[in-house]
Amino acid sequence: MPCGYCSQTAKKVLFLMMKIVVELALVGAIASVFIVAAQGRAAERAAEEAAGREYMRKLDELMAKAQNRRTLASWNYESNITNYNEEQMLQISLEVAEEQKEYWKETMSYLWHEYEDPDLKRMFKKYSELGTAALPEDLNQRLLTAISNMQSIYATATICDYKDRNKCDLHVEPDVTDIFANSEDPEELKYTWLEWHKAAGAPSRGNFTEYIQLDNEAAKLNGYDSVAEWWLSAYESDDSEDQFASLWSQVKPLYQQIHAYVRRQLREKYGENVVSARGPIPAHLLGNIWAQTWGNIEKFTRPYPNKPEVDVTSALIAQNYTALKMFQTAEEFFKSLNLSGMPDLFWERSIIEKPNDGRELVCHASAWDFYDGEDFRIKQCTTITSDFFFTTHHEMGHVEYYLQYKHQPIVYRGGANPGFHEAVGDVIALSVSTPKHLKIVGLLEDGPEDTESNINQLYKMGLDKIVFLPFAYLLDIFRYGVFRGTTTTRDYNCHFWRLRETLQGLEPPAPRSEDDFDPTAKYHVAADVEYMRYYVSYIVQFQFHRALCQLAGEYSPGDSDKILSACDIYRSQEAGEALGKMLQMGSSKPWPDAMEALTGQRNMDASGLLEYFEPLHEWLKRENERTGEYIGWEASNIEYCSDEQRMAMDEFGFNERLKKYAAL
């Protein structure tokens, strides 16, 4: 090979090598630029997140003060209903709304969608919803006034006594409630039902219509199509409504068996001209003004009437229980689990009995968090009954939740989903109501613990827990339809009773029309309180109960000596520790995380409830088959919809939607 050729080749190789070196250097330089830029962007993002974190800390302090002011004003009004306190509550609510609006504007200036810290993003997302403060001040004032008016109508409504028409000072608590608890006169019950709904329901129709319109406007300003979607967003799932319907399909067969059994018992007591063999049950005969629980008819419908009655009310009275002693007993249960006792301010500032100074107040039992980490209260017009004994444990469960998550930022001080808060107190009450626990605290003497006594106890529980489910479910299905416009103003009462008949198997005691407005005769509708939380709570409390009972060693599947319905977690440190860990999370994580932390499940499931009531379910099926009872109900003969309304329900798809909700 000639030497010149070698030299030429060497030059080419050298040139190529130099070119590669230059190109690599260029690539390296470009890469360095990108690396420096990326490092700069990472540093910039880290700085932005640090600024966002500091802003959240300051916003948390501001929101705590704002929430404290608003809650104090609400407490002052609800514990002493006067024009002055109402004006103060409205004024402070508006002032806080305007403050929130200013905070919201600053919140939305942060690029929180780009943050990497999931906790920081979650806080910003929660604060990115302004609530009703998104409304212009004049519209927000109208909304608050409409709700306040409904609350006031409900709280101050009075009716005349059936036996003494000159006595016209009967309130829902305790007067109407006591009549339904004790009277077995169908005419007195019918009269009282009609008068209460006339006094507390119909006058709120105009306020309710305005409230719907304005609340929907607020929902749209927060990015939702209607308040229905706004409320559902708290459950953090796109298919929440399908989940609710699926839960109902699980428990519906058990409800139908209880319904059939109770209908027969009522028919035998009042006659077939009052209660038909195959129709819905008249709503005024079930021991409760709303027919949401039926426990007050247990005394004459009990499966085994010759078995000794678990009469907690008589025991409370005989042992000189006071409201204070009830509250101290409830506190002791939580302390036995190594959870927190009630702080000193709780005892100083709570209202646990109806004041005798003549003031009007909202007697509906409620628990209050004043967002300062120190002030927690209950407002309850306690009387010495078993219902209030268990209600006291329930309300204190709310306060225990407040105490456990008080270390969380304000934005996380809430239940993992709305149903969790309601379930906590109830899961305690499941233990408290067992004969085992009642014996421990001295409210029940030793008695037989056999199959028949257990069926009686489960039946009594079923009249509270099972029959409540369709009521809790339909109350918000009704409001979803109103918020979405599929139930219009002209159809309020018709659609409400269509739902009650279809889901509950109940009918009104007399014909209804659109001159009536029965939904706001229920406090939670009048007070703008989302109600699906109660439906969810009555399902998940049995999931919680099953998990806690297994931790306490009180329940073992298949062991007849350790059945779920007899479990009492009192004094179990293991159960208390697990419950406390879940409560401490507040709403800092999506609810499936909180559910999993306690139960190992990530979904809401009615199997725990069905396990609890399985012996009763089997007994009811045998008993209803023995007596030939019709399961389900035929259409009501009581008119509550006009022919025109019934045609429209088919035409506009109401009945099709109803089939989905009712698991038909």
Polymer length of the chain: 664
* Residue pair 553/533 in contact by the 8 Å Cβ criterion: no
Active site residue 309: no
* Residue pair 110/45 in contact by the 8 Å Cβ criterion: no
Q: Rounded to the nearest 5°, which phi and psi values hold at 394?
A: -60, -50
Environment class of residue 38 by beta-carbon count within 10 Å: exposed (0-12), middle (13-18) or buried (19+)? exposed
Could you give the CA distance from residue 112 to residue 107 in angstroms, rounded to a whole number? 9
Report the candidate in 234, 228, 256 with the shortest Cα–Cα distance to residue 663.
256
Could you give the CA distance from residue 398 to residue 368 in angstroms, rounded to a whole number? 8
Helix count and strand count (H, E) for the chain: 25, 4
**Angle of helix 654-661 relative to helix 492-499, nearest 10 degrees?**
30
CA dist 112 → 52, 262, 586 (Å): 8, 56, 22
Sign of dihedral through CA atoms 26, 27, 30, 33? negative
Q: Rounded to the nearest 5°, which phi and psi values hold at 269?
A: -80, -45
**Angle of helix 654-661 relative to helix 643-651, nearest 10 degrees?**
70
Q: Which of 395, 400, 422, 554 is catalytic?
A: 395
Q: What SS3 state is found at 133?
A: helix
Which structure tokens are listed for 127? 């604060």
Could you give the CA distance from residue 323 to residue 350 in angstroms, rounded to a whole number? 12
* Residue pair 97/83 in contact by the 8 Å Cβ criterion: no
**Residue 316: beta bridge partners?**
none
CA dihedral 301, 306, 312, 316 (to 10 degrees): 130
* Residue pair 88/151 in contact by the 8 Å Cβ criterion: no
Which helix (H) or strand (E) covers residue 200, if one does?
helix 186-200
Q: Which of 394, 421, 437, 524 is catalytic?
A: 524
CA dist 305 → 197, 250, 455 (Å): 34, 30, 11
CA dihedral 50, 54, 59, 61 (to 10 degrees): 150
DSSP codes of every residue in 477-523: HHHHHHHHTSS-GGGHHHHHHHHIIIII-EE-SS---TT---GGGSH
* Residue pair 395/378 in contact by the 8 Å Cβ criterion: yes
* Residue pair 70/144 in contact by the 8 Å Cβ criterion: no
Which structure tokens are listed for 78? 């609800």
Could you give the CA distance from residue 260 to residue 462 in angstroms, rounded to a whole number? 13
Under 8 Å CB-to-CB from 194, ≥6 apart: which residues?
Answer: 509, 510
Which structure tokens are listed for 269? 């007591």
Active site residue 545: no
Could you give the CA distance from residue 368 to residue 352 in angstroms, rounded to a whole number? 13
Residue with tokens 């305790």: 174
Could you give the CA distance from residue 377 to residue 342 in angstroms, rounded to a whole number? 9
Residue with tokens 């204070």: 324
**Alpha-helical segments (H) within 405-504:** 418-432, 435-440, 451-484, 492-499
Enumerate the active-site residues.
395, 524
